């Protein structure tokens, strides 16, 4: 612990190398000393301890050189260094102190210590030198006084020179330490900054929303992965593009629709613009139109001026489409509700007219109209309710074993009243097994299919309703010879709100019937499909499981 | 009320809903008017080319050719221009109504309507009674 404060820590590999080279110098000195002690000297020297000490010094020096210091505590190095110093001091003591021929050797050690040790460490080495040089004087050695004075001055100059070197080295070292601390802090900051940037980049790359940044000159400086995915324009294409430029350097969208970038309002750098959100109809690279919901916010410099605008956008085409279908649906449903209501109210009020008299036949036909339109209204309401139940997952089924014939017959009987230009063909054998179904729901499905067959064959013609047993299931089929469904529309006919021909020019309807039918059939454990050819007519068919055998037997017993 | 002595007036009802046509026909016929029916704009134009009625009751929302398109065709045809047209509309079709008025429609009846009221509107338009 003391050594910690005495010796400057050497952690730089370059300085470690220098320490080792100093140790080499010391070792060479030892060899010189060893050789010297073997030579005949002016004064008497006790050669045995000198020899032992020389050997000890040799070993410690070898240790200094060979030990891989970077893997061990520096304390060992310091201890060995101190040992070497005290060894030299002892050597000098035994070779008659001030008069020792090895005085110059200690100068090397002093400089070395001055370089590597702190000032206190150096002071320790210097005191040890003074003690070792002077100690023999207090014992038996005989000195020439003038010679001693010059020797002591010589030693003092030597030690003061070492002290100055030490001070100089300390200063440089302090400066270096400070420099390296600053460098380290800087490097740390740079690393943190880079990490932060990587994090931001990773976040930008993985958000599902498209993100892009436009600088004040209107050039795109950032374009993330999702932006590329949504618009079809890659980062390479978009970075550096002039978004607002009058030159119209917008990416080539083609197809006559506004290319993506150009449809976003340019930035007025002086405005008090904080942030804004809007929806925009624009184009993908492949010219497909997309609706984007965009929010834009300014990026401000530390001084508050706008440096650019960050835009975040997402593709809302799907929501827009559902939105459109929903408002379409509301419009059609209200129309579809109003039409039968108009007839019901109209015929009722006609019957109540006081200023006109109608024949009994007319009155009866009016009543029939009221019934017919009332049923239509009920059917529509049933469909709308079914949809809300299906959507809420609250559709309840009451599965029973039922006979197919009467259900089909009832549907056809009710529907035949609606039309005079269609003729119905019922294709149901008498000995069909019972099916497991909810009677009301089966009726609703068949009714929807037959109503569609009537609606979509405006020129009349046969409508065939078939039920046959096939592969252990009951297969129902409703076929017409009407307008048919194009291959473009066919895959979508069972989708909610979907109508093959929309708005004007098409057949009226809510777009609910087939969606409800499909849901009902699936709930009852069946599947529904459609086949069609434009101009030839359509065929809708679905199958339902047969009723379990024992139930049939049970009913047979009751019947017999 | 029945004042037509010079042969009965002829009304053309254009609507895609069969029951509504029947409703209009029954109420107008009982008042001695002659009624012919067209299921959509296309059939209406075909019938108008053959003979011209004294008044047209025209539904706006129809498949094929809608009421507004029929009005446009009528306005463009010298022979048909003068025939008064009463539009049959539903509530909330204000925009169509304005378009229709601009194209020369005489008036409109909003569904659901009172048959008696409807007969009065038609007769007024024909100048058979005062409004």
**Residues A480 and A338 occupy one common structural domain:** yes
> In the 8-state DSSP scheme, what is residue A198?
H
| A535/A457 Cα distance (integer angstroms) | 10
**Residues A338 and A254 occupy one common structural domain:** no
The pLDDT assigned to A505 comes to 41
Residues forming a β-bridge with A281: A291
Any domain includes A189 = no
pLDDT tens per residue across span A507-531: 556 677 888 899 889 988 899 999 9
Residue B97's domain spans which residues? Answer: 10-121
What are the chain A neighbours of B113 within 8 Å (beta carbons)? 342, 346
ipTM: 0.89
pLDDT tens per residue across span A125-177: 777 777 777 666 666 555 555 666 776 777 777 778 878 888 888 888 888 88
**Residues A373 and A479 occupy one common structural domain:** yes
CATH at residue A550:
3.30.565.10
Backbone angles phi, psi at B91, to 5 degrees: -60, 145
Is residue A222 within 8 Å of residue A282, measured between CB atoms?
no
Closest CA to B23 of B121, B116, B120, B97: B116
pLDDT at A401 over 60: yes
Domains: count for chain A: 3
Any domain includes A186 = no
A107 or B28: which leads in pLDDT: B28
In a mutational test of the A interface, the residue from B112, B113, B117, B120 whose CB has the highest number of chain A CBs within 10 Å is B112
pLDDT at A347 over 70: yes
CB neighbour list of residue A266: distance below 8 Å, 6 or more residues apart: A218, A243, A244
In Å, how far is A390's CA from the nearest CA of chain B?
A: 30
**Residues A309 and A322 occupy one common structural domain:** no
Q: Are strands B10-14 and B55-59 parallel, antiparallel or unpaired?
A: parallel
The pLDDT assigned to A345 comes to 93
Any domain includes B130 = no
CATH at residue B30:
3.40.50.2300
Nearest by CB to A355, from B17, B63, B116: name it: B116
Of A315, A348, A373, which residue sits at a domain end? A315
In Å, how far is A214's CA from the nearest CA of chain B?
A: 42
Query: Of all helices (H) and strands (E), which one includes residue A458?
Result: none
**Residues A14 and A133 occupy one common structural domain:** yes
B22 or A372: which leads in pLDDT: B22
Closest CA to A444 of A493, A490, A398: A398
pLDDT level of residue B36 (50, 70, 90 thresholds): very high
In Å, how far is A373's CA from the nearest CA of chain B?
A: 8
What are the chain B neighbours of A353 within 8 Å (beta carbons)? 27, 30, 115-116
Closest CA to A446 of A532, A544, A554: A544
CB neighbour list of residue A120: distance below 8 Å, 6 or more residues apart: A5, A6
pLDDT at A350 over 90: yes
**Residues A391 and A459 occupy one common structural domain:** yes
| B43/B60 Cα distance (integer angstroms) | 14
**Residues A39 and A165 occupy one common structural domain:** yes
**Residues A369 and A518 occupy one common structural domain:** yes
| A449/A407 Cα distance (integer angstroms) | 14
Is residue A67 within 8 Å of residue A77, measured between CB atoms?
yes
**Residues A63 and A18 occupy one common structural domain:** yes
Any domain includes B110 = yes
Residue A384's domain spans which residues? Answer: 317-560
pLDDT level of residue A366 (50, 70, 90 thresholds): very high
Tell the residue number behind the tokens 């038609």, with chain if given.
B122
Any domain includes A445 = yes
Domains: count for chain B: 1
Stretch among A70-74, A222-226, B39-43 having the lowest mean pLDDT = A70-74
Any domain includes B53 = yes
Any domain includes A197 = no
Query: pTM value?
Result: 0.53
């Amino acid at each position: 612990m003391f050594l910690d404060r005495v010796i400057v820590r050497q952690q730089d590999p370059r300085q470690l190398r220098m320490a080792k080279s100093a140790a080499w110098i010391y070792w060479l000195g030892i060899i010189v000393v060893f050789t010297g002690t073997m030579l005949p000297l002016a004064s008497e020297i006790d050669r045995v301890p000198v020899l032992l000490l020389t050997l000890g010094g040799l070993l410690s020096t070898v240790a200094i050189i060979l030990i891989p210091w970077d893997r061990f505590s520096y304390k060992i190095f310091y201890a060995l260094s101190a040992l070497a110093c005290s060894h030299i001091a002892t050597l000098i003591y035994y070779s008659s102190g001030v008069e020792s021929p090895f005085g110059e050797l200690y100068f090397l050690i002093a400089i070395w210590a001055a370089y590597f040790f702190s000032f206190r460490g150096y002071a320790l080495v210097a005191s040890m030198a003074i003690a070792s040089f002077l100690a023999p004087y207090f014992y038996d050695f005989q000195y020439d006084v003038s010679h001693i004075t010059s020797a002591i001055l010589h030693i003092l100059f030597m030690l003061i020179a070492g002290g100055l070197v030490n001070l100089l080295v300390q200063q440089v070292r302090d400066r270096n330490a400070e420099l390296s601390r600053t460098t380290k802090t800087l490097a740390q900051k740079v690393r943190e900054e880079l990490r932060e940037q990587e994090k931001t980049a990773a976040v930008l790359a993985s958000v599902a929303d498209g993100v892009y940044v436009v600088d004040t000159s209107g050039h795109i400086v950032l374009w993330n992965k999702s932006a590329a995915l949504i618009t079809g324009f890659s980062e390479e294409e978009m970075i550096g593009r002039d978004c607002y430029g009058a030159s119209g350097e917008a990416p080539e969208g083609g197809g006559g629709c506004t290319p993506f970038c150009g449809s976003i309002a340019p930035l007025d750098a002086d405005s008090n613009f904080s942030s804004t959100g809007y929806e925009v109809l624009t184009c993908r690279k492949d010219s497909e139109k997309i609706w984007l919901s965009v929010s834009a916010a300014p990026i401000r410099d530390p001084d508050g001026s706008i440096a650019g605008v960050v835009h975040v956008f997402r593709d809302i085409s799907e929501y827009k489409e559902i939105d459109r279908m929903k408002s379409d649906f509301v419009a059609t449903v209200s129309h579809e509700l109003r039409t039968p209501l108009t007839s019901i109210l109209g015929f009722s009020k006609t019957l109540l007219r006081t200023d006109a008299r109608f024949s009994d036949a007319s009155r009866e036909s009016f009543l029939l109209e009221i019934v017919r339109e009332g049923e239509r209204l009920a059917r529509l309401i049933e469909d709308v309710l079914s949809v809300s139940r299906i959507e809420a997952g609250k559709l309840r089924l009451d599965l029973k074993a039922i006979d197919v014939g009467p259900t089909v017959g009832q549907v056809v009987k009710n529907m035949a009243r609606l039309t005079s230009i269609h003729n119905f063909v019922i294709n149901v054998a008498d000995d069909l097994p019972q099916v497991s179904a909810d009677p009301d729901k089966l009726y609703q499905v068949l009714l929807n299919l037959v109503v569609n067959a009537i609606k979509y064959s405006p020129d009349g013609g046969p409508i065939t309703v078939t039920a046959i047993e096939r592969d252990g299931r009951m297969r129902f089929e409703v076929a017409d010879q009407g307008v048919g469904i194009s291959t473009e529309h066919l895959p979508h006919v069972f989708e909610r709100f979907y109508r093959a021909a929309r708005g004007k020019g098409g057949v009226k309807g809510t777009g609910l019937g087939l969606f409800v039918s499909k849901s009902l059939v699936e709930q009852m454990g069946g599947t529904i499909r459609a086949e069609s050819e434009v101009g030839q007519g359509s065929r809708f068919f679905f199958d339902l499981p047969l009723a379990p055998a024992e139930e049939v037997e049970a009913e047979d017993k009751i019947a017999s | 009320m029945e004042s037509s002595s010079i042969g009965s007036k002829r009304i053309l009802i254009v609507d895609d809903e069969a029951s509504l046509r029947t409703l209009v026909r029954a109420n107008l016929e009982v008042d001695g008017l002659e009624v012919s029916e067209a299921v959509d704009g296309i059939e209406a134009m075909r019938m108008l080319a053959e003979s011209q009625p004294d008044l047209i009751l025209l539904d706006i929302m129809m498949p094929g050719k809608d009421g507004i398109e029929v009005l446009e065709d009528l306005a463009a045809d010298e022979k048909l221009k003068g025939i008064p047209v009463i539009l049959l509309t539903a509530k909330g079709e204000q925009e169509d109504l304005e378009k229709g008025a601009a194209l020369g429609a005489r008036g409109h009846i909003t569904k659901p309507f009172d048959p008696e009221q409807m007969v009065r509107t038609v007769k007024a338009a024909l100048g058979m009674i005062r409004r």
